């Protein structure tokens, strides 16, 4: 039986206080997933309060979804049931920053913007430029496992997360890793939290390695007549000594969206040179370092662009650089905003297969008459966004076919795929699910250890975990 808000208000508010508990529609609506709403929302301030809440949930078999700012709740499937939204935004402290050691510890609900502000004062940063950056929390970012344009230079969060503390589904407060830059004591359980969509634990603390801010950031934007040349150029840079921090190839649809901004978002980008002509691709190359090094970087990168037949190559000034990267970081919300049935496939392929994978997505989109925006990161990550202009059973059908075909092509090249964002109806219509993997059984065992009663985001994860 589904728990009712009235029954839950009292025991939850006894733990976190009435002001931090809500059963009001205005609150529960904010944490809805796929049309499902929680009966109650709780904002614990500490790991211990979190533990108390989870203890209650275990006892009463309540299903909990953990939220930070709620910006990535749309990722993953809807929970099989949903009683309580546990929001971590009060665990938002910067707990410790040791600038001399380049390490940082924050509460799970700490906002990325607060972190950046704290680090910036010491000329440091965390390379976590993820979608919804101005709202997102550190815990939500880790749980979503989402990458950023900076992964070319700095890796993904698993590469600089040193340790974590979290509350498991069996309401134990647990930690792993350390807060120094190197440690191999015990299992690295915190790595399992990355991309786990809140199915293993509620993150109360995260320890990161921080990075020195580069002296300058610059970018070069090169335009190519076709995908293979753009991606070839990006690979050429990736294989060169140039050490780019970002290498993003964008198709014309995406460029056009970035340039215009989505209907609901801000002003157009002040970069008229972003052409957005059909069939053209652009590569945004990011650099971080000194002016002197950039001179050589620019010279070589422009040379390579010419070799790969670039029709145009443009050096962006500081303002334009900031604008372009801001848009690129926010490409996901921009895409989601630009279609009522936006469907995002996230794929991972070998870099040598990037062109083929993009071609497969484009031809499938064409076959099903769907506009498609493509963003290919040189490491092999691709965001494929199908953007029909209406949401109805007929578009869902076309989307399902396009997703299945694209997924098949990616699987055939030993790649991986998942469907982080799509209309709810679509999830039930695709034939493939993104969890066609031999290690699902082991993942199930891990889930069982962390959350034996299956109270944490039941059913939201790959394989229905």
Partner 1 sequence: MATRNISGEAIKELAQIVGSAHLLTESLEVSLYEYDGSVETGRPDLVVFPGSKHEVAALARWSNRHRVPVVGRGAGTGLSGGALAREGGVQVVFSRMNKILEIDVENRLAVVEPGVVNLDLSRAVASAGLHYAPDPSSQKACTIGGNVAENAGGPHTLRYGVTANHVQALEIVLPDGEMVRIGGGAVDPPGYDLVGLFVGSEGTLGLVVEITVKLTPLPESVKTLLAVFETADDATETVATLTAAGVTPAACEMLDGWTIRVVESSIQAGLPTDAGALLLIEVDGMREAAEEQAQAVIDLCRKNRAREVRTAQSERERETLWKARKNAFGAVGRVAPDCYVQDGVIPRTRLPEALRRIGEIGRRHGFDVGNIFHAGDGNLHPMLCFDHRKADEFARAMAAADEIIALCIEMGGSITGEHGVGMEKDRLMPLLFSQADLALMKGVRDAFNPLGLLNPGKIFPGGKGCGEIRIPAASATEGKRGTARVDEAGGSGPSGADGALRDRQA
Told to check if 173 binds partner 1 by CB under 8 A, we report: yes
Query: Which residue from 105, 116, 143, 313 is in contact with partner 1, where contact means CB under 8 A?
Result: 105
- For partner 1, the binding residues in 313-352 under the rule CB under 8 A are 346-352
HEC letters along the chain: CCCCHHHHHHHHHHHHCHHHEECCHHHHHHHCECCECCCEEECCCCHHHHHHHHHHHHHHCCCEEEECCCCCCCCCCCCCCCCEEEECCCCCCEEEEEHHHCEEEEECCCEHHHHHHHHHCCCEECCCCCCCCCCCEHHHHHHHCCCCCCHHHHCCHHHCEEEEEEEECCCCEEEEECCCCCCCCCCCHHHHHCCCCCCCEEEEEEEEECEECCCEEEEEEEEECCHHHHHHHHHHHHHCCCCCCEEEEEEHHHHHHHHHCCCCCCCCCCCCCCCCCCCCEEEEEEEEECHHHHHHHHHHHHHHHHHCCCCEEEEECHHHHHHHHHHHHCHHHHHHHCCCCCEEEEEECCHHHHHHHHHHHHHHHHHCCCCEEEEEECCCEEEEEECCCCCCHHHHHHHHHHHHHHHHHHHHCCCEEEEEECCHHHHCCCCCCCCCCCCHHHHHHHHHHHCCCCCECCCCCHHHC
Which range touches partner 1 (CB under 8 A), out of 108-116, 366-374, 390-398, 441-449? Answer: 441-449
Cα gap 403→405, rounded to integer Å: 5
Residues 237-276, mask of contacts with partner 1 (x by CB under 8 A)? --x-xxx---------------------------------
If the CB atoms of residues 31 and 383 are measured against partner 1, the closer one turns out to be 383
Q: Which residue has the tokens 């070319």?
A: 152
If the CB atoms of residues 20 and 93 are measured against partner 1, the closer one turns out to be 93
At its nearest, how many Å lie between partner 1 and the CB of residue 128? 16
Query: Which residue from 11, 17, 34, 99 is in contact with partner 1, where contact means CB under 8 A?
Result: 99
- For partner 1, the binding residues in 137-156 under the rule CB under 8 A are 147, 155
Told to check if 443 binds partner 1 by CB under 8 A, we report: yes
Count the residues of the shown chain that bind partner 1, applying the rule CB under 8 A.
92
Which range touches partner 1 (CB under 8 A), out of 30-38, 82-90, 268-276, 379-387? Answer: 379-387
Query: Which residue from 32, 315, 391, 440 is in contact with partner 1, where contact means CB under 8 A?
Result: 440
Told to check if 299 binds partner 1 by CB under 8 A, we report: no
In the β-sheet with 21-22, what is the strand arrangement from edge to edge?
21-22, 40-42, 84-87, 64-67
Query: Which residue from 5, 74, 177, 198 is in contact with partner 1, where contact means CB under 8 A?
Result: 177
If the CB atoms of residues 8 and 328 are measured against partner 1, the closer one turns out to be 328
Query: Which residue from 42, 87, 189, 396 is in contact with partner 1, where contact means CB under 8 A?
Result: 189
Which range touches partner 1 (CB under 8 A), out of 31-39, 59-67, 97-105, 271-279? Answer: 97-105
- For partner 1, the binding residues in 26-45 under the rule CB under 8 A are none
At its nearest, how many Å lie between partner 1 and the CB of residue 243? 6
Report the candidate in 314, 264, 390, 321 with the shortest Cα–Cα distance to residue 149: 321
If the CB atoms of residues 28 and 168 are measured against partner 1, the closer one turns out to be 168
At its nearest, how many Å lie between partner 1 and the CB of residue 259? 27
Told to check if 194 binds partner 1 by CB under 8 A, we report: yes
Told to check if 176 binds partner 1 by CB under 8 A, we report: yes
Told to check if 379 binds partner 1 by CB under 8 A, we report: yes
Told to check if 75 binds partner 1 by CB under 8 A, we report: no
- For partner 1, the binding residues in 110-129 under the rule CB under 8 A are 123-124
Residues 398-437, mask of contacts with partner 1 (x by CB under 8 A)? ----------------xxxxx---------------xx-x
At its nearest, how many Å lie between partner 1 and the CB of residue 104? 11
Told to check if 441 binds partner 1 by CB under 8 A, we report: yes
Told to check if 358 binds partner 1 by CB under 8 A, we report: no
Which range touches partner 1 (CB under 8 A), out of 5-13, 78-86, 93-101, 305-313? Answer: 93-101
Rounded-to-10 torsion of CA 373, 378, 380, 382: -10
CA angle 188, 162, 327 (to 5 degrees): 115
Burial zone of 429 (CB within 10 Å; 0-12 exposed, 13-18 middle, 19+ buried): middle
Q: Which residue has the tokens 């953990």?
A: 66
Residues 198-237, mask of contacts with partner 1 (x by CB under 8 A)? --x----x-x----xx------------------------
- For partner 1, the binding residues in 55-74 under the rule CB under 8 A are none
């Amino acid at each position: 039986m589904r728990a009712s808000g009235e029954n839950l208000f009292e025991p939850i508010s006894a733990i976190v206080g009435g002001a931090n508990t809500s059963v009001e529609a205005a609150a529960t609506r904010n944490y809805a997933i796929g049309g499902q709403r929680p009966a109650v929302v709780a904002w614990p301030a500490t790991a211990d309060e979190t533990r108390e809440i989870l203890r209650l949930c275990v006892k009463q078999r309540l299903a909990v979804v953990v939220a930070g700012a709620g910006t990535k709740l749309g990722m993953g499937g809807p929970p099989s049931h949903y009683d309580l939204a546990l929001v971590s935004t009060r665990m938002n402290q910067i707990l410790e920053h040791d600038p001399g050691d380049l390490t940082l510890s924050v509460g799970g609900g700490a906002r990325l913007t607060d972190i950046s502000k704290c680090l910036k004062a010491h000329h440091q940063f965390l390379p976590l430029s993820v979608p919804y950056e101005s709202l997102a929390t550190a815990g939500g970012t880790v749980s979503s496992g989402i990458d950023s344009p900076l992964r070319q230079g700095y890796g993904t969060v698993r590469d600089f997360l040193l340790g974590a503390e979290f509350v498991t589904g069996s309401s134990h407060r647990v930690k792993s890793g350390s807060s120094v830059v190197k440690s191999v004591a015990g299992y690295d359980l915190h790595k399992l939290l990355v991309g786990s969509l809140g199915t293993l634990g509620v993150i109360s603390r995260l320890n990161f390695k921080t990075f020195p801010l580069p002296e300058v950031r610059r970018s070069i934007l090169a335009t190519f007549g076709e995908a293979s040349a753009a991606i070839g150029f990006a690979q050429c840079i990736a294989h060169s000594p140039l050490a780019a921090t970002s290498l993003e190839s964008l198709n014309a649809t995406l460029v056009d969206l970035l340039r215009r901004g989505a209907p609901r978002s801000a002003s157009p980008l002040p970069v008229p040179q972003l052409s957005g002509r059909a069939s053209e691709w652009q590569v945004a190359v990011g650099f971080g370092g000194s002016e002197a090094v950039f001179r050589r970087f620019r010279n070589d990168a422009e040379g390579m662009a010419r070799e790969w037949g670039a029709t145009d190559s443009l050096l962006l000034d500081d303002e334009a650089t900031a604008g372009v990267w801001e848009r690129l970081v926010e490409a996901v919300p921009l895409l989601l905003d630009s279609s009522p049935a936006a469907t995002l496939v996230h794929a991972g392929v070998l870099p040598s297969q990037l062109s083929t994978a993009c071609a497969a997505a484009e031809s499938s989109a064409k076959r099903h008459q769907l506009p498609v925006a493509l963003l290919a990161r040189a490491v092999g990550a691709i965001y494929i966004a199908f953007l029909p202009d209406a949401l109805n059973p007929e578009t869902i059908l076309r989307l399902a076919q396009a997703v299945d075909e694209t997924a098949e092509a990616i699987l055939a090249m030993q790649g991986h795929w998942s469907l982080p964002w799509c209309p709810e109806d679509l999830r039930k219509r695709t034939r493939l699910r993104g969890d066609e993997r031999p290690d699902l059984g082991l993942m199930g065992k891990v889930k069982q250890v962390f959350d034996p009663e299956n109270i944490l985001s039941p059913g939201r994860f790959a394989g229905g975990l």
